[in-house]
Amino acid sequence: MDLATLALLNTERAARRATVLVTDVESGAQRLVKAADLAADPLADVLDKQLRMGKSALVEAEGKAFFLTVQAPPPRVIVTGAVHISQAMAPMAKLLDLDLVIIDPRTAFATPERFPGVRLLTDWPDEALAGLGLDGYTAFVALTHDPKIDDPALEAALRSDCFYIGALGSRKTHGRRLERLAAAGFDETATKRIHAPIGLDIGAVSPAEIALAILGEIVKTLRGPRRAPA
Amino acid sequence: MISTDTDILATAEAWVRDGRSVALATVIETWGSAPRPVGSHLVIDGEGHFLGSVSGGCVEGAVVEEAVDVIAQGRPRTLEFGIADETAWKVGLSCGGRIRVYVERISTAKVN
């Protein structure tokens, strides 16, 4: 590997961008494929598959053996709402290797006692999200029911490459939310990215079951075929 | 505590920028109960200093020796270790697994 390739690999990883380094094991020839350029690569299908699994692998293609060094950023979940559902989500997310961040400016809700060991931000969502950055390996979940908190965060998520956006609320609540987002200039293509009703349809009732349904849907979106670039 | 592979690639870059000659070893295939997963890295310099792990200690010594050779010669090579491979290597994996390790030099000139 040449230094330029190694440096680019490190830069892309630090910026939380996915890459695959393709090495011809026989000749040593290499190319670094950025996720954004993946579709144009001759090995696009297998690269996409390995990237979704986040697994490096030796593959056979074109009669040659290639080693794919897959660098996928650690996926994370950003939630607005230090509520019962996010209390249940925190330990589940940890087991799933998802980095969870909870944003709630209501300091009565966002307390370390209610969320031991969880990263809690009590800034308003637009400020908190600007600091965190929303990228293609981030899922955003709105759980407060409060438009003052959820809406600015949803708007930021819709303007980003987040791989998953979900919002809690009844059909009626979501209908009103869609009206507000439309008034803010988001068309139907944009708002269709929002998973609502949120979570897999498993008949969830309790906060923990809803947390499970949401995390199940996040994992499904993360590991399933990536949506076509807009 | 095993250094993460993130640290290792960053270290590899830092070592090269320090003017050291460096090789990178990567686990490219495993069979059976291999101690470190595919994609694990070990970085080695020309004097045999190393960081990271490809086997949790079983075959690092042999990989480092080969890596010093790869640094000198420049050609990448693939090594195989394990109990099923009795002739080529004196070292083995006590866990009974088998691994293949790709060793390449980090070159400062663009070669590909």
- State whether A91 and A57 are in the same domain: no
The Cα–Cα gap between A129 and A112 comes to 20
Per-residue tokens: A11: 């830069």
Q: Into how many domains does chain A fold?
A: 2
The C-alpha of A163 sits at a distance from chain B's nearest C-alpha, in angstroms, of 23
Give the start-end residues of each E strand in A93-220. 99-103, 119-121, 138-142, 164-167, 194-195
- State whether A31 and A55 are in the same domain: yes
Convert the pLDDT of each residue in B45-63 to its tens digit. Answer: 999 999 988 887 778 889 9
Among A50, A71, A92, which residue terminates a domain? A71
Q: Would A178 be classed as within a structural domain?
A: yes
Residue B87 has a pLDDT of 44
Q: Would B26 be classed as within a structural domain?
A: yes
Domain with residue A110: its CATH number is: 3.40.50.720
- State whether A88 and A102 are in the same domain: yes
Show which residues on chain A lie within 8 Å of chain B, measured between beta carbons: 1-7, 9-10, 13, 23, 25, 28-31, 55-58, 67, 69-70
- State whether A108 and A186 are in the same domain: yes
Residue A150 has a pLDDT of 96
- State whether A82 and A123 are in the same domain: yes
Measured over the CA atoms of residue A198, residue A154, residue A87 and residue A133, the dihedral's sign is positive
- State whether A98 and A189 are in the same domain: yes
Residue A109 φ/ψ, nearest 5 degrees: -85, -45
Domain that holds residue B53: 5-106
Interface touch A3/B104, C-beta < 8 Å: no
Interface touch B9/A9, C-beta < 8 Å: yes
- State whether A83 and A181 are in the same domain: yes
Q: Which ranges of chain B have pLDDT less than 50?
A: 1-3, 87-88, 110-112
Among A45, A71, A97, which residue terminates a domain? A71
Q: Can you give the pTM of this predicted structure?
A: 0.75
| Residue in B38, B77, B99 to test binding to A, most A beta-carbons within 10 Å | B38
> Residues with Cβ < 8 Å from B58, sequence gap 6 or more?
B35, B81, B91, B92, B93, B94, B95
Interface touch B102/A23, C-beta < 8 Å: yes
Instruction: Give one DSSP letter per residue of A192-220, joined into a string.
Output: TTEESS-S-SS---SHHHHHHHHHHHHHH
- State whether A64 and A104 are in the same domain: no
Q: Do A50 and B28 meet the contact criterion of CB atoms below 8 Å apart?
A: no
- State whether A49 and A81 are in the same domain: no
Q: Into how many domains does chain B fold?
A: 1
Q: What is the pLDDT along chain A (230 residues), one digit of tens a residue?
A: 999 999 999 999 988 899 999 999 999 999 999 998 999 999 999 999 999 888 999 999 989 999 999 998 889 999 999 999 999 999 999 999 899 999 999 999 999 999 999 999 999 999 999 999 899 899 999 999 999 999 999 999 999 999 999 999 999 999 999 999 999 999 999 999 999 999 999 999 999 999 999 999 999 999 887 544 43
- State whether A23 and A51 are in the same domain: yes
The Cα–Cα gap between A66 and A138 comes to 29
Q: What are the b/e assignments for A142-164, b being 16+ CB within 10 Å?
A: bbbeeeebbbbbbbbbbebebbb
Residue A230 has a pLDDT of 37
